[in-house]
């Protein structure tokens, strides 16, 4: 039972880390290697509001998320759009965007180091036990889990039930054809990218409640997000959410039943198996 709850909480954390990248990579087709740095920027945002204004991270989400949206929109318009325009095909865009965002990640690390300094940051918020079925869990983890659930459900409904969501899906599946039926593809791509960045920063703000972070830690999150997104199938947000939870369960089960030292090995083993037997990801459908 313990494994289920801890696995759920960890899965929620992973979903927060990964769904932003799914929107950026799956829909906007930008393999954003600076994704982890954006997450850390969200953590710094929450930290700054908490330490300077005693503002709860759950409230500062409402400031951090829209700011991140605008910031990512600008990044897309001024940095990524030129790459999209000059790319002759998808492969070239992928290479260009990987290089550009890789560089961007160093700029972000440098900026955050310059602004906040390089040391570890951490604060105590809701760091108290919450009793569930005779076991105690961190209240901050449960709060982050709820944030994650809200984001997952809202995005899922929005993408599957609304008109804008439909255009997003259309662009994800077939960007060329989407343009033919009157969808403003460039705007939709920018929207997906900005939304992905906003969700990532929101994830960072929620995670900062219980994780110790520093300006350089982003790459760890990028790696994790990449694994989850590829595991889930790049195109489908529900696949990414489910694979985040699978990873959470597997890691927790291995840590509890076998050895915590094997969690990383288990995660990569799972990753390899999925790549071997279902290279398009769990919910990727058939590769076109």
Site membership for another protein, residue 129 (CB under 8 A): yes
Angstrom distances, CA of residue 58 to CA of 40, 61, 157, 283? 16, 5, 22, 31
Contacts of 107 (CB under 8 A, 6+ apart): none
Minimum CB–partner distance for residue 244 and another protein (Å): 12
Minimum CB–partner distance for residue 138 and another protein (Å): 5
Site membership for another protein, residue 37 (CB under 8 A): no
Nearest in space to 280 (alpha carbons), one of 190, 288, 71: 288
Interface residue with another protein, options 94, 220, 271, 282 (CB under 8 A): 220
Minimum CB–partner distance for residue 34 and another protein (Å): 14
Site membership for another protein, residue 10 (CB under 8 A): yes
Site membership for another protein, residue 132 (CB under 8 A): no
Q: Which is nearer to another protein, 29 or 224 (CB)?
A: 224
Site membership for another protein, residue 215 (CB under 8 A): yes
How many Å apart are CA 8 and CA 4, to the nearest integer?
6
Instruction: Judge whether 65 and 202 are in contact, CB under 8 Å.
Output: yes
Minimum CB–partner distance for residue 242 and another protein (Å): 18
Interface residue with another protein, options 49, 50, 76, 210 (CB under 8 A): 210
Q: Which is nearer to another protein, 120 or 273 (CB)?
A: 120
| Distance between first and last Cα of the chain | 41
Q: Per CB under 8 A, which region of 33-41, 59-67, 125-133, 166-174 contacts another protein? A: 125-133
DSSP structure class, residue 260: G
Token output for 91: 């492969």
Instruction: Judge whether 210 and 148 are in contact, CB under 8 Å.
Output: no
Site membership for another protein, residue 13 (CB under 8 A): yes
Helices of type H across the chain: 2-21, 35-53, 57-75, 81-86, 90-116, 139-161, 163-173, 175-180, 185-207, 218-232, 237-253, 263-277
Site membership for another protein, residue 103 (CB under 8 A): no
Site membership for another protein, residue 115 (CB under 8 A): no
Instruction: Judge whether 14 and 244 are in contact, CB under 8 Å.
Output: yes
Could you list the residues that contact another protein (CB under 8 A)? 2, 6, 9-10, 13-14, 109-110, 113, 117-124, 127-129, 136-138, 141, 210-217, 220, 224, 251-252, 255-256, 259-261, 263-264
């Amino acid at each position: 039972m313990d494994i289920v709850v801890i696995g759920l909480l960890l899965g929620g954390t992973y979903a927060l880390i990964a769904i932003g990248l799914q929107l950026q990579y799956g829909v906007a087709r930008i393999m954003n290697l600076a994704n982890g740095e954006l997450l850390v920027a969200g953590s710094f945002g929450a930290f700054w509001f908490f330490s300077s204004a005693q503002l709860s991270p759950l409230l500062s989400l409402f400031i951090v998320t829209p700011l991140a949206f605008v910031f990512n929109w600008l990044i897309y318009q001024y940095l990524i759009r030129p790459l999209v325009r000059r790319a002759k095909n998808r492969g070239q865009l992928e290479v260009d965007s990987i290089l550009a965002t890789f560089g961007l990640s160093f700029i972000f690390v440098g900026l955050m180091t310059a602004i906040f300094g390089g040391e570890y940051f951490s604060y105590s918020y809701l760091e108290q036990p919450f009793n569930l079925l005779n076991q105690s869990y961190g209240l901050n983890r449960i709060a982050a889990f709820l944030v994650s659930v809200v984001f997952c459900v809202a995005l899922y409904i929005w993408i599957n039930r609304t008109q804008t969501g439909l255009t997003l899906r259309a662009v994800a599946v077939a960007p060329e054809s989407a343009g033919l039926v009157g969808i403003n593809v460039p705007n939709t791509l920018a929207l997906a990218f900005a939304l992905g960045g906003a969700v990532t920063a929101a994830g960072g703000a929620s995670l900062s409640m219980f994780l110790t972070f520093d300006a350089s830690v982003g790459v760890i999150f990028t790696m994790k997000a990449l694994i989850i997104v590829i595991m889930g199938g790049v195109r489908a947000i529900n696949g990414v959410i489910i694979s985040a939870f699978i990873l959470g369960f597997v890691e927790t089960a291995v840590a509890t039943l076998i050895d915590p030292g094997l969690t990383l090995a288990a995660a990569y083993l799972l990753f390899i198996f999925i790549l071997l037997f279902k290279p398009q990801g769990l919910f990727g459908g058939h590769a076109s």
